[in-house]
Amino acid sequence: MKNFKDVVWKEKVTEVIKIIQEKDIKFVRLQFTDINGMLKNLAVSSKNIESIFENGQSFDGSSITGCRSVEESDMALYPDPATFASLPWRPKEKSSCRLICDIYTPQNKRFEADPRYILERAIEKAHKAGYKYICAPELEFFIVKESENGGLPTPIDLAGYFDFHPSDLTDDLRREIADTAEAFGIDIEISHHEVALGQNEIDFKYGEALETADRAITLKMCGKIVAARAGYLTTYMPKPFQGINGSGMHIHQSLWSPDGTTNLFYSESAQNGYLSDLARNFIGGQLMHGRKMCAILNSWPNSFKRLVPGYEAPVYLAWAHKNRSPLIRVPNFGGRKTAARCEIRCPDGAGNPYMQFAVLLATGLDGIKNKTDPGDPVELNVYHMSYEERKERGIVSLPESLKEALDEFETSDLMKETLGETAFENFLKEKRREWDAYRLQVSEWEVNRYIKRL
């Protein structure tokens, strides 16, 4: 492995091995994500960890969605020592730890379609252009209880936005999720009840994109583990219940100087809302490619049940300083240099954060490269505009289905370049299959509405 001979890398590996020995950790969980963003892991004996750091751990890539075919299935996992953490829910006498891994081919080269590598390539492109990409997601989720008689799961509380009830189950569960996440080194900034029954949000401090994506999959894991241990289910499904808000993952973004000292999204111009031209071009690139990258940001058929007007989900490709109805919002950062940023509001937490951050960075960089003008900010409520008004302003909408999103995605050279040909083709193949499975279903709504009428 190329990094193993690096001095800093080797020091981190030595430190991790020492901690494993001192804590008498017996098993190490090697974690990674498939192309859908599903967390995968396998447990290995800690006595082999030094060899695994140096030589990798082989596994069957043909069994992982979007990875390899049966004919070329042999793959290897190389752990990143910077992601080491003891599992806080395991007792000391059965202690375990985790390490997030990079995927390699049998030829000891990075696997092109590894989601973590896809993001690393985008980050490297930004570095070469002189930028450091900083981001932070707002993860929304539902905590539900499963029906004993086989019915649909239901929310576990009756609270609403920012509500506090001493008997609220989710208040204690949110706190436990936050405490568990902090045991993994995640700096939790805010947690609260969201708008819908059983819906919650936990946010953590911004950071560089790769570290942030690692933390996003870790926080999701913590949410699921804590709820399961209490007899409940945490779900990041975008729209689990009809008639109420769905769950999104608003992502705050900014570009900084390579040394991390200067926020390049900031400008001294109060007239432009203290937003730099570079930031405006970044926004312009994301608006320009908004329909093309939507399949990555919203990657399930159910995602598009959330992206409809009337439930606080942005569906129109526009931007604003205060208004929350367009796709991209510039929060009021009070002229503070370090806080200048934009927030894209369509992504959801059901997808793969490595790939989501990668396409967001790639489209923003494309906007900077081509000096893409985002147009004037739209401070009116876009939901209340007529079709003619939106057309006059040049405001188009996001795709209305996964099929439409995939059709747009398939035509994008930038998406293919960012993901690489293997991941691009694998993603299309997997999601076309998902769409076919979805569209063949006959829903209860259809039966109730039509079976006696037609």
**Tokens in use for 110?**
């990075």
Distance CA 203, CA 37 (A): 19
Annotated catalytic residue, options 116, 345, 348, 408: 345
Query: Do strands 27-33 and 96-104 pair parallel, antiparallel, or not at all (unpaired)?
Result: parallel
Distance CA 223, CA 225 (A): 6
201 is catalytic: yes
Taking a C-beta distance cutoff of 8 angstroms, is the pair 426, 367 a contact?
A: no
208 is catalytic: no
Q: Strand locations in 61-204, DSSP E?
A: 74-79, 85-86, 96-104, 132-145, 154-155, 188-193, 199-204
Annotated catalytic residue, options 102, 120, 194, 348: 194
Place of tokens 């006059």: 392
Closest CA to 342 of 260, 272, 282: 282
110 is catalytic: no
140 is catalytic: yes
Q: How many CA atoms lie within 13 A of 30 on its CB side?
A: 21
Distance CA 377, CA 318 (A): 7
453 is catalytic: no
Helix (H, G, I), strand (E, B) or coil at 417: helix
250 is catalytic: yes
Annotated catalytic residue, options 34, 102, 114, 140: 140
194 is catalytic: yes
Distance CA 350, CA 75 (A): 26
Q: How far apart are the first and last CA of the chain?
A: 64
50 is catalytic: no
Annotated catalytic residue, options 157, 343, 348, 366: 343
Annotated catalytic residue, options 80, 102, 201, 214: 201
- Cβ neighbours of 413 (radius 10 Å): 8
Closest CA to 102 of 68, 38, 43, 56: 56
**Tokens in use for 396?**
């188009």
Annotated catalytic residue, options 324, 390, 393, 432: 324
Taking a C-beta distance cutoff of 8 angstroms, is the pair 75, 105 a contact?
A: yes
Place of tokens 């893409």: 372
321 is catalytic: no
Taking a C-beta distance cutoff of 8 angstroms, is the pair 303, 402 a contact?
A: yes
Distance CA 428, CA 436 (A): 12
Residue 350, C-beta contacts closer than 8 angstroms, at least 6 positions apart = 37, 236, 237, 238, 299, 300, 302, 303
Annotated catalytic residue, options 11, 24, 60, 189: 60
Annotated catalytic residue, options 29, 193, 250, 291: 250
Active site residues: 60, 138, 140, 194, 201, 250, 324, 343, 345
